Amino acid sequence: MGRKAIDLTGKKFGRLLVIQRSYIHSGSGHLAMWDCVCDCGKLHTTDSDSLRSGGSQSCGCRQKEMASKMAKINSTKHGMWGTRFYRIWYNVKKRGTGRELKGIYPDIDICDRWLEFDNFRDDMYESYLKHVEEFGEKDTSIDRINGKLGYYKDNCRWATVDEQSNNVLRNVFIDYDNKTQSISAWAREYNMSPSTLHSRVIKMKWSMSDSLLKPINYKSHD
């Protein structure tokens, strides 16, 4: 007899109040999640382990408040607080160390060296300026060369939005029909656009069979 699922509805974890059970689509089926409302009013979805272990205690506002305080303290040190380059580092650090994301992105990590902004600046700022000079600041974003690995100098580069999007499609792997392939590989096999397949599977939460077999002009999904 299977273990009865624990109902967290109505329970409070830090700033998060659980309001209902939710699900996300994964390669092996549906993963149970919980929809929560934060004290700040924003909705946040996370998994049971993150809630019960204390990993998820807010929608992210708590970390932002703490980061803002630390950034202001450190701003006089490096003089780059508030720049786009600093925000990129902050988001990399948040994604690599933020325990709230571990339930959904368990393999993302950041090297210890990049936990300090000055080290990230020393490793990446010169190449950032060169990329900005060629492509512009808005079209310069940090990209992991191997999406299965984390954030560190040898696995990161500056890329345009299109380059980064293509890299994501190559590194998101889906299990279907007893085979595992990247979204790009599945799209090639079924003669469709990788971006269309990505949108159907990741954003619209369609099943893999519907995503691959429904006509391109198919608009609704029940």
Locate the domains of the chain by residue range. Answer: 12-53, 61-167, 172-213
Contact 186, 195 (CB under 8 A): no
Work out the angle at residue 108's Cα, subtended by the Cα atoms of residues 20 and 101, and round it to the nearest 5 degrees.
Answer: 20
The burial class, CB within 10 Å (0-12 / 13-18 / 19+), for 165 is middle
Q: In what order do the strands lie in the sheet with 43-46?
A: 12-13, 16-26, 29-38, 43-46
Query: Could you list the pLDDT tens digit for every one of the 222 residues in the chain?
Result: 445 668 899 999 999 999 998 876 555 556 778 999 999 999 999 888 888 888 888 888 887 787 776 666 555 556 687 889 999 999 888 877 654 444 444 456 888 899 989 999 999 999 999 999 988 998 899 988 877 788 999 999 998 876 776 666 566 778 888 888 777 778 888 888 777 887 888 778 888 888 888 887 666 544
pTM recorded for the entire structure? 0.46
Q: Whole-angstrom distance between the N-terminal and C-terminal Cα of the chain?
A: 32
Work out the angle at residue 55's Cα, subtended by the Cα atoms of residues 52 and 56, and round it to the nearest 5 degrees.
Answer: 85
